[in-house]
Every structure is written in structure tokens, then in C-alpha cells.
Amino acid sequence: MPKLHVGIDVSLKAHHIQFMDEAGQDLASFQVLGDPQGADTLIHKVLETTQTKHMDRVVVGMEATANLGWHLAHYLKQQLEDHAPHLDAQIHVLNARRVARFKKAYDHLPKNDRIDAWVIADHLRFGRLPQAMTDTIRYEALQRLTRTRFHVMQTMSRDKTFFLNQLFLKFSGLRQDNPFSDTFGATSLAVIQELEPEQIAAMPLEDLVALLVDKSRNKFDDPKQIAQELQKVARRSFRLDKVMQDPVNLSLSVTLNLIQHMDAEVKKLDRAIARLMKAIPNTLESVKGIGPVYAAGIIAEVGDIRRFKNHNALAKYAGLVWNQYQSGEYEADETSRMRTGNKYLRYYLIQAADQVRRHDSEYAEFYRKKHDEAPVLTHEPV
């Protein structure tokens, strides 16, 4: 069946379009505005071209460029289904890295929007495409929440690292050997915010013990021991110049406020994710340690599991595969992980696996076995 290939180079205000037939002949090249009127113009030209050329199939492709092509892809799919049911229309959202690699085969091509649309159309013509868009709106709704959560968690992780770097300036010993199990726990933060190392070192032990009991709500088994360790690290800490004290304390306070605000926002996202998950049947939550948030992160990115042939295809999609290095009789034992794949799915799979390790003794035993088999690059499990 003859078909029309439509390559779209999306941008914020306008999209460049390339029409191409199965033989690679250029049929049309034009621009449309990045709004519904522009999309309607594109649909009109698609219908006109397929009618003139007696085509009954349309393959549309665009790169996954942030969210700039999201509205266009969904609008085209819906409008073509509603107003041109006679056309076998497929919409493909392409990996930009794969398109760039495909373009490298044409070493003479310049870089501009028209050429990029042409490359996408030619890529569609050669095939080996990802699954066409299906009705995935509920998964995409879930993605908005799980991907936002990922973004906030990454930002919060960076801010915590920044906070710890500032903490070394104020209280170097506490950064090196913190007697508290969690630097960001309530008692640890109270000490950091309210006291200077020299005050801790000079404070009577009984007063420091009383402060720790109050701030921890008497949750420490041996507050006296913690107080003694705290005074020890305070005495061996560097003293900060008085000119630096107020700027460092303000930096710590502002950064901590941001971290605590983001932590509260993550809890809002978790509640919204849990509500959406009630409408999506799944078995992931039956696994020990996997709750609605991590299950949602996995489901939102996987979508319909039937689009993956096997677990190897899913692992590759997540970027949890390792390169092979083999030549003749030699094959390397150590290779690097491929730097491709869906980073969101990879994050939620790894986080979920770690929770399973913590809650399932059988899985924990398997994890320990594989950990002990690693000849190098080992770590100490938490």
C-alpha cells in the first residue's frame, strides 16, 4: 500500500514539515504555526496529498523534544481518526539520539529545520520505528506526576549536597563524623541551626543532654553518649572566622528552607499519585516494599507492557544493559552500562528494587549473593 511519510521538526512557535513518498521523493516542504490552526493546515495538506497520490497510509514522525510536540502529536492522532478513518495513520515520537545517529549517514547535510524534517521523513521511510502512539493519556497523566516527583527529588538531592558543603564550613567535625544517624533529622538540624561548635564544646554535659532529649522528644536510647560524641567532634572542628559566621548560617538556613519546602511538595505529589493509582489495576504493589509511588513510576513509563517482546527489551528501554567488549577469544568481564534509555523508568526500577531488598528476605539474600560475586566496584549495602 502506498504511504505518505511526514517528518516534523518541532519548535516552540512553528514546525517545519517534510512530505516524502516510499521512493524517497520529496513531495512538499513547508512550515505551519505551532497552534491548532497550523495543525489543521497540516492535516488539510495530508488529506490533499494522499488523495492526489492515491495513498491510503500515513506515517508521521517527530522527535521527543521536551513537550513541544505533545499537543501536535495528540491533535493529529485524534483529528485523523475522527475525520479520515479511511487512512491508516500512525504517529511516532522518535528518540532524538536515534534520529541524530541516522543523520550521520548523510555526512554532507547541513543543520537547519528543513533538513531535520527531511531526515525524520527519511528515517520513517527506512522503518525500524518505535511503537506508534496509542491511547496512553492515563499513563501520560500519571507521568506528569511521577516525572515531576523525579525532578523535585533530583533537585532536593543537589540541594542537600550543597547544604552539606556549607555545613563543613560551619561545623567540620559534624560533617566528618556525625553522631546522629541522619544529618537532616530534627535533632541534628536543631543543633546545626541553634548552636556553634564552640558553644557545644563549652556547654556543660548535662545541659547538652537535656537539649538533645528535648529536641529528640526523648527518642535516644543513650543521649549522654551522643552528647559526649557531639562535644568531641565540636572540639576537633575548625573555628570559623566571625566575619563568615552570619553568611554561612544564612546560606544554611535558606538552603534548608528550600529542602523542607520541596519535601512537603513531594508528599503532595505522593498523595496525588496514590489517588490516580486507584484507577489503574496492577500487581506491582503486591511485591513487598513497592508502594503506589514506585509502582506508579514504573507503570507510567512502561505503559502497555505488551509493547515489549521480553524482559530484555524492557531492560534495554530502561537503560539497564551493559556493553559487550569482545574480540577473538577475549571477552571483557568489566564493561560500562549503556548511557541510553528512559532515565525515569531506570530511577523508579532501581528505587523499587532497593525497597524490595529492604523488605523481602529472599530477595535480600539474592542481592547479597550477587554483591559478593562482584570482583571489583563493590559497595557496602545500606
Q: Residue 188 maps to which CATH number?
A: 1.10.287
What count of residues does the chain have? Answer: 382
The boundaries of the domain holding residue 41 are 3-133
Q: Among 97-101, 205-209, 245-249, 330-334, whose mean pLDDT is lowest?
A: 330-334
Mean pLDDT for the stretch of residues 302-327: 87
379 found inside a domain = no
Residue 66 confidence (pLDDT)? 80
Cα-based torsion angle of the residue sequence 371, 377, 378, 382 in order, rounded to the nearest 10 degrees? -110
Q: What is the mean pLDDT of the chain?
A: 92
Mean pLDDT for the stretch of residues 172-201: 94
Q: Binning pLDDT at 50, 70 and 90, where does residue 186 land?
A: very high
Q: Binning pLDDT at 50, 70 and 90, where does residue 377 land?
A: low
Same domain flag for 234 and 166: yes
Last residue of a domain, one of 207, 241, 273: 273
Same domain flag for 175 and 267: yes
Same domain flag for 175 and 146: yes
Q: Using one digit for the tens of pLDDT, what is the confidence trace for 278-303?
A: 988 889 999 999 999 999 999 999 98
167 found inside a domain = yes
Same domain flag for 126 and 184: no
Last residue of a domain, one of 273, 300, 318: 273
Alpha-carbon distances of 156 from 252, 261, 268, 352, rounded to whole Å = 14, 10, 15, 19
Residue 370 confidence (pLDDT)? 86
Q: Binning pLDDT at 50, 70 and 90, where does residue 311 land?
A: very high
Does residue 61 contact residue 6 with C-beta atoms inside 8 Å? yes
59 found inside a domain = yes
Q: How many domains does the chain have?
A: 3
The count of C-alpha atoms lying within 13 angstroms of the C-alpha of 123, restricted to the half-sphere facing its C-beta, is 30
Same domain flag for 62 and 166: no
264 found inside a domain = yes
Residue 378 confidence (pLDDT)? 64
Same domain flag for 74 and 55: yes
Same domain flag for 38 and 103: yes
Same domain flag for 266 and 285: no
Burial of 153 (0-12, 13-18, 19+ CB in 10 A): middle
351 found inside a domain = yes
Q: Using one digit for the tens of pLDDT, what is the confidence trace for 139-152?
A: 899 999 999 999 99
Same domain flag for 243 and 344: no
342 found inside a domain = yes
Same domain flag for 263 and 291: no
119 found inside a domain = yes
Q: Using one digit for the tens of pLDDT, what is the confidence trace for 49-98?
A: 999 999 999 999 999 888 899 999 999 999 999 989 999 999 999 988 88
Last residue of a domain, one of 133, 160, 183: 133
Q: Binning pLDDT at 50, 70 and 90, where does residue 330 land?
A: confident
Q: What CATH number has the domain bearing residue 126?
A: 3.30.420.40
Q: Binning pLDDT at 50, 70 and 90, where does residue 192 land?
A: very high
Same domain flag for 34 and 70: yes
Same domain flag for 249 and 297: no
Mean pLDDT for the stretch of residues 352-359: 95
Residue 329 clears pLDDT 90, i.e. is over it = no
Q: Among 89-93, 157-161, 326-330, whose mean pLDDT is lowest?
A: 326-330
224 found inside a domain = yes
